[in-house]
Structure 1
Amino acid sequence: MIEQGGRMLTLNSISQARDTYLEFLHQEKNMHKIWHNPLLIACENAELSFEDCRFLFSQYYYFSKHFTRLLGAALMNSEQDKHRAMLVENLWEESGEQDLENRHSEIYKRFLCNSLQVENVEQIEFEPFTKLFIHEYIALCQKNEADSCAAILAFATEAIVPRLYQVFKKTLLGVGLAENDLLFFNIHIECDDAHAATLEAMAMSYIDQPFSLERCQHAIRQALDLRDQFFSQLYQAMINRRLLKLLQPLVKHSEFADAKAIYQHGNDKLTPLYSNKSESSSLLFSVGRYDYPSHVLDPRLLKIPVGCHNERHAHAHESVFYIAQGQAEVHIDDCVLSASKGEVVYVPRWLEHQTHNIGKEELIIFAITDYKLTRHFSGNSEASYRKAPENVFQDVTV
C-alpha cells in the first residue's frame, strides 16, 4: 500500500493514478489564466507592430539566454542519477550539441539581429521586471523539491511552448516576417514536446511520495503566475512606449508632419476602409478614411444607401458625426436621435450605436474619431473591433 495525499493506493492502481495525475497537471497548464493574458490576445488579434515585436522579443531574449540555468536548478535538485542524465541530454541539445554557434540562445540572437533588425543584442536594456521574472523563476525552481521542480519545467515551461510559440509566430508573420525567419520557434515547437515528456516522466516517478500531486500543482500555478505577470508587464510597457511616442511631439513642440501633406485636398486622400452588406436584411454601407498624417484624429466618410443601415456595434474610440447629406436616425444605447444635413451627433466610447438612412437620398456622414489613439490598446485594431462578437449586436428595427 502507498500513501498519496492522505489516500492509500494499491500497487495495481498506480498506473491509473499516474494517468489521473497527468490529467490534473495538464489541466493546471491548460486552464490557467495566462492564455487570456492581454499580450497574447493582442498577438492573436495581430495588433502588434514591427516595433512592438522588436521590444517584446528583445525582452524575451533574457529568458532565452538564461533558460539553461533552469535546467541547472533541476540538476541540483535531482536525487537520481538517471534523472540527472536525462537533464544533461536536454542541456546538450539546448547548447547546440557539438556546435556552440547553434545553441538555442545563439539562434534566438540571430533571429533578433537578422529578422527584427536589433543592431546590438548585447546592448539591449532589459526592463527591471524582465530581470526580476528570471530571478524569481530560477529561485522557484531552486526552492522546490525534485518532483515539483520537474513539474515546473515539464508543465509550466516546456509543455506550453507549442501553443505559446504558435501565438508568437502568428504575430511575427503578421508584421511581415517569413517562415524561414522563425527557425528558433519552429525548433522548439518540434522538440519541446520531447523535452516536456522527459521532465514529465521525472515528475511522475515520485507518484508514490506523499502529497507529490499537490506540490506539483502548486508549483505549476506559481510558475505560470510568474509568467502571466511578466507578460502583463510587457504589454503595459509596450502600451506606454506607444503613448510616449505620441506625446513626444507635444512635449517637444515639434512639427507633426509636412505642411504640404496636411493641406492637400481631402478628396484626394480618401481611401476605402471597410464595407458590409447582408442579403437577408437592409445592412449596406461603406466607410472611407481621410489618410492624413495625424496622431490622434482619424476622419472618415460613412455612406449609407436609402433604407439601409450599418451594423449595431461598439468600440473604444469616440466619434463626432457631421451630417453632410441626407437624414439619419442614430441609435446610441437606448437613445434615438434624428439628424439632418448640417447637424452633429456625438457617440461616446463603448456605447452600442447604429445609423439608419431614413431620408430619400444617400446618407453621407463625415465622422471624426480618435481611433489613431485608441488603436494602440488591445481590442480596438482594424482587425478586431468590428469583427469581435462582443462588439457587434442585434440590429435595431425602424
Structure 2
Amino acid sequence: MYQRITEEYVERLRSHPFVQRCRDGSITDRELNIFLTQHAKYSAYFTRYLCALIANLHDAGDVMRLAENLAEELGFGEEGGEPHARIFARMIEQFGIDLQQAPLFDSTQKLISTTFHYCKQPDPAYGLGALCLGAEAIVPALYSDIISGFEANGIAPERLHFFRIHVECDDDHADTMREILQRLQQDNPQGEERMLEGAQAMIAARLAFFDGVMEGARQ
C-alpha cells in the first residue's frame, strides 16, 4: 500500500509545471533561485519537525530509530559527516542568495505550518503520514527532477551536493518511518485515515508551494 501511495504522490508532484519544466530543462534561473530561497525557509525547520514528531511517539524503540535520523541530519550519525543544514547553507551562499532580505511567501508559510500542525498531533499517525509519505518518501524522485533543472541551466554537479545526498539517503529515512507506520496500523487499523490525512495535506501544501514559486518568478 505504501509503495502505491508514494508513487501516486510522486506522480502528482512531477505533474506540476514547475517540476515538469525542471525535468525538461526549460526552467529559468530566476525560478530556481526563488525555489532555493523558499525551500531554504521551509527546510530550516526540518530538525524541529522531526523533534515534534518524535515527542509524540509512544514506543521507546521508535524514538531511538527516528533519533538516529535526527542525528544524521545534524552530522552525528554513524558515519559522521557535515550537518545537512550546513551543506544547504553553503549552497545557498554559493548561489548568492541573501535569505534575510528575501520575503517568506504565504505558500511557504502554509507548508511550514502544515508540517508542524501534523507533526505536533498527539496521535503520531498524523505526523508520520505527513513527514514520511508527504515529505521524505517523495524526495528522491522530486530532487532528481530539480537537479535536472539546475544542470540544464549550467550548474556544476558539485554545487548540487545537498540535493544529491538526499536522493541517495532519504529512502532510508522514509523506510524507517514506513516500518513504524506499518506496526501502528496493525495495532490500530483506524490510524490509516489519520496517516492519509497528514500525507495528503502535505502534498497539497507542497503543490501550492510550487505555485507560489512560479508566481513569485513572474513578479
TM-score (norm 2): 0.90
CA contact (8 A) 2:31 2:213 kept: no
Which gives a bigger RCO, structure 1 or 2 (Cα 8 Å, sep 6+)?
Answer: 2
Q: Deviations over 1:276-327 (max 9, x none)?
A: xxxxxxxxxxxxxxxxxxxxxxxxxxxxxxxxxxxxxxxxxxxxxxxxxxxx
CA contact (8 A) 2:10 2:142 kept: no
Structural mapping, 1:1-398, within 5 Å: 21-31=1-11, 33-97=12-76, 102-114=82-94, 116-118=95-97, 120-143=98-121, 145-208=123-186, 209-240=188-219
Kindly report the root-mean-square deviation, in angstroms, between the aligned alpha carbons of the 2 structures: 2.2
CA contact (8 A) 1:147 1:206 kept: yes
Question: Greater share of strand residues, 1 or 2?
Answer: 1
Q: Which amino acid aligns with 2:162?
A: F
Where structure 2 has 5 or more consecutive residues not aligned to the other structure, the ranges are none
Q: Which amino acid aligns with 1:167?
A: D
Q: Which amino acid aligns with 1:55?
A: I
**d(CA) in 2 for partners of 1:117 and 1:51?**
12
How much has 1:147 moved relative to structure 2?
Answer: 2.4
Structure 1 residues 28, 218: CA separation in 2 closer, same or farther (over 3 Å shift)?
Answer: farther
More deviation in 158-167 or 49-58? 49-58
Number of matched residues? Answer: 217
Structure 1 residues 168, 183: CA separation in 2 closer, same or farther (over 3 Å shift)?
Answer: same
**d(CA) in 2 for partners of 1:126 and 1:44?**
26
Question: Greater share of helix residues, 1 or 2?
Answer: 2
Where structure 1 has 5 or more consecutive residues not aligned to the other structure, the ranges are 1-20, 241-398
TM-score (norm 1): 0.51
Name the SS for the 1:207 alignment partner: helix
**d(CA) in 1 for partners of 2:6 and 2:102?**
35
Between the aligned residues of both structures, percent identity stands at: 24
Q: Which amino acid aligns with 1:102?
A: E
How much has 1:233 moved relative to structure 2?
Answer: 1.6
**d(CA) in 2 for partners of 1:111 and 1:214?**
38
Q: Which amino acid aligns with 1:215?
A: R
